[in-house]
């Protein structure tokens, strides 16, 4: 029981819990209040849900049914492409919509694509909102959420976001953060997403905690032709602070997560705002990575990752070998002697990771960036021995009372 309190922070009887929100955020987004003490309310349909999410009123929005946006904006038939990665077009490959001129830039062969328009759009969530699913019934199907342009203080808890044109690259992103702050994404599930499950854009995403979620990569349309979703998490904002804790990340083949700031390393994007001195700091702690048929961590310039107390099981590539040469900085608590390296900056020792049935796992010992944790809200780390069982039994939807 003590382990669960440390790892998952589910304070069911706490007097500090917000209305209908279970527990409180820890890590970088500590202090987020969302809709606060606003009276919980249940939107009648997709129109009312969109209206409540996009207005300026603090709200606690309860979801106890499915809100299906598929077909709400019609379908689009356009010229897309067949990327070279799709070596199995007739048996589970993923073609592409020409998002951000991606097909044109890479010169992939043209094909006709038909997709649901809503999935390629988003709902712009405004500040001071709590979006909370009830039991396992709160589902948003066919559209993603964007928190951007100064929006802040938002909680998304116990919600399943699914079916955003999963057959197509650029089919849609589940949650987008760009120009935001204080966002807590907790006990959610992501499945059948066309592109990123969670992505931070060029603008600062601010303080973010992503905790106790299930990133379910099982798909019938795989960019890598192995039944695993490739586009899992992409963190490329300016000065992002991201806590990734207690998540179940499985059946993915890449970007689980990808962390960088220098977006010129993503050639299908235009360089914006110069190099600057911005960075992405991620604290990955007590997550369970399982059945990853490609890579988990992939870093580039400006990406910094403290990786501790995680379980890697059947992961082909735990950390890409190019992460450091591409400019990333990593400390992964490889040996017991590394544990005290964190003490000065985190106020506690690091926790070693465990790796089994996986590819190369070696020491990454760059630790100078750990000073960036000083004075910030740092996620606690539980003993790695209980991570797998507790993550599997508590991550995703339907595991909290509300």
Active site residues: 255
Which of 149, 167, 155 lies closest to 70 in space, CA to CA? Answer: 167
For residue 287, the tally of other CB atoms under 10 A from its CB is: 29
d(CA 220, CA 362): 33
Tell me if 248 sits within 8 A of 261, measured CB to CB: no
Buried b (16+ CB within 10 A) or exposed e, 210-232: bbbbbbbbebebbbbbbbbbbbb
d(CA 220, CA 237): 30
Q: Where are the beta strands (DSSP E) in 309-383?
A: 311-319, 329-331, 354-356
Mark out the alpha helices in 123-260 (DSSP H runs): none
Locate 299 and state its tokens.
């870093």
**Which residues is 259 bridged to in the sheet?**
235, 299
Which of 318, 391, 402, 324 lies closest to 361 in space, CA to CA? Answer: 318
d(CA 301, CA 279): 8
Tell me if 307 sits within 8 A of 333, measured CB to CB: yes
Dihedral over Cα of 99, 104, 109, 112: its sign = positive
What is the full DSSP assignment across 221-258? SBTTSSSBB---EEE--SSEEEEEES-EEESB-S-TTE
Residue 273: burial class (beta carbons within 10 Å; 0-12, 13-18, 19+): exposed
Buried b (16+ CB within 10 A) or exposed e, 75-109: eeeeebbbbebbeeeeeebbbbbbbeebbeeeebe
């Amino acid at each position: 029981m003590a382990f669960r309190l440390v790892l998952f922070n589910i304070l069911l009887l706490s007097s500090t819990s917000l209305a209908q929100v279970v527990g409180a955020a820890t890590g970088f987004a500590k202090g987020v209040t969302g809709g606060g003490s606003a009276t919980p309310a249940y939107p009648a349909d997709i129109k009312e849900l969109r209206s409540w999410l996009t207005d300026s009123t603090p709200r606690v929005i309860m979801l106890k049914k499915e809100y299906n946006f598929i077909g709400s904006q019609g379908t689009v038939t356009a010229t897309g492409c067949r990327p070279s990665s799709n070596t199995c077009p007739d048996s589970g490959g993923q073609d592409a919509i020409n998002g951000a001129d991606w097909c044109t830039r890479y010169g992939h062969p043209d094909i006709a694509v038909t997709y649901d328009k809503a999935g390629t759009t988003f709902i712009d969530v405004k500040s001071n909102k709590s979006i909370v699913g009830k039991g396992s019934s709160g589902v948003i199907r066919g559209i993603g959420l964007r928190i951007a342009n100064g929006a802040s203080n938002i909680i998304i808890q116990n919600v399943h976001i699914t079916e955003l044109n999963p057959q197509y690259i650029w089919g849609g992103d589940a949650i987008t953060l760009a120009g935001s702050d204080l966002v807590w994404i907790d006990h959610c599930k992501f499945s059948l997403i066309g592109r990123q499950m969670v992505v931070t854009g060029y603008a600062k995403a601010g303080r973010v905690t992503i905790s106790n979620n299930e990133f379910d990569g099982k798909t019938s349309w795989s960019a890598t032709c192995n039944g695993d979703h490739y586009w899992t998490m992409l963190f490329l904002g300016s000065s992002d602070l991201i806590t990734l804790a207690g998540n179940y990340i499985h059946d993915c083949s890449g970007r689980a997560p990808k962390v960088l700031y220098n977006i010129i390393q993503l050639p299908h994007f235009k360089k914006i705002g110069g190099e600057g001195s911005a960075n992405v700091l991620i604290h990955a702690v007590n997550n369970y990575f399982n059945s990853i048929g490609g890579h988990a961590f992939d870093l580039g310039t400006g990406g910094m990752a403290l990786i501790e107390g995680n379980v890697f099981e059947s992961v082909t590539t735990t950390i890409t070998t190019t992460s450091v040469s591409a400019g990333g900085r990593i400390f992964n608590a490889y040996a017991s002697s590394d544990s005290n390296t964190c003490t000065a900056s985190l106020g506690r020792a690091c926790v070693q990771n465990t790796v089994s049935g996986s590819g190369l796992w070696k020491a990454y010992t760059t630790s100078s960036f750990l000073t960036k944790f000083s004075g910030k809200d740092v996620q606690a780390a539980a003993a790695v021995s209980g991570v797998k069982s507790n993550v599997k039994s508590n991550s995703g939807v339907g595991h909290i009372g509300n």
